[in-house]
Amino acid sequence: MKLLSKLEVRNLFGGAIKINVPTKWRDVSLVRQVPDYQECYQDCTSDVSEKNTEIQGTGGCLIVEILTRENQVRDEDASLFFFQDLADANGGLVQVEYQAMWAVGRGEGDPSKLRMNDVIIPQLSKSITACSCVGIHSIDPLDHRNDLESGRAERVRVELCILRLDTEETDILISLSIPFANRKTDHMSVTEQEFKNENHHHSELFLNILRGFEIVDWDLFG
């Protein structure tokens, strides 16, 4: 299954931020409490196949978090720091396949012109550094890393992008998690082969989500 989907612009944090979200993904806050510093959307879609069998969605989850800036973390280390921090919260091991650092947003000298490498977040009105990575989390604690690398553990593809806002003393963490296909279920998740076909880089879905990211009201950060 390719991770492509129709997207629509959603307002986050009372309209202070906008981002592209798959049209059929639901706002998790409608069914459970979500922290004030976080917005969460999840793929809970289902469809009926020609065999009248219900097919579940990807189980994917998109989270946007506004965090106090980690000043002790260098830009070049930020993506791995947050990737490991997320894994620690879930009690699993990690396997990082790709990481990058980007200059994004409009330069101060010419507000009408975007920076060279801004293709991932073209709507941002300030010039900042963004750090990203792609990797794999295990969703259960493991005794041996071999379990993760060999595929014996439940595995989740995780893509992260961290926007480092120096003046606002804020880190914005955008994460997309998609479980790998499990032969025990009918979930239409990403397969290992699709991951390899993308050369372990960001999926087109994640890039399209980031292309719609915009900070409308900078007063959100105080």
Whole-prediction pTM: 0.81
Note the pLDDT of residue 41: 96
* Helix extents (H) in 4-99: 75-90
Which run of H or E residues covers position 102?
A: strand 94-104
Note the pLDDT of residue 48: 45
* Helix extents (H) in 91-162: 145-149
How many alpha carbons fall within 13 Å on the CB side of residue 139? 10
The single-letter DSSP state of residue 110 is: -
Note the pLDDT of residue 57: 62
Note the pLDDT of residue 76: 92
Taking the C-alpha atoms of residue 220 and residue 109, their distance in angstroms, rounded to an integer, is 25
Note the pLDDT of residue 103: 85
- Residues in the chain predicted with pLDDT less than 50, given as ranges, are 1-2, 48-49, 52-55, 111, 116, 142-145, 147-153, 183-191, 195-197
Note the pLDDT of residue 153: 46
Query: What are the distances in angstroms from CA 142 to CA 87, 133, 157?
Result: 12, 22, 17
Note the pLDDT of residue 52: 46
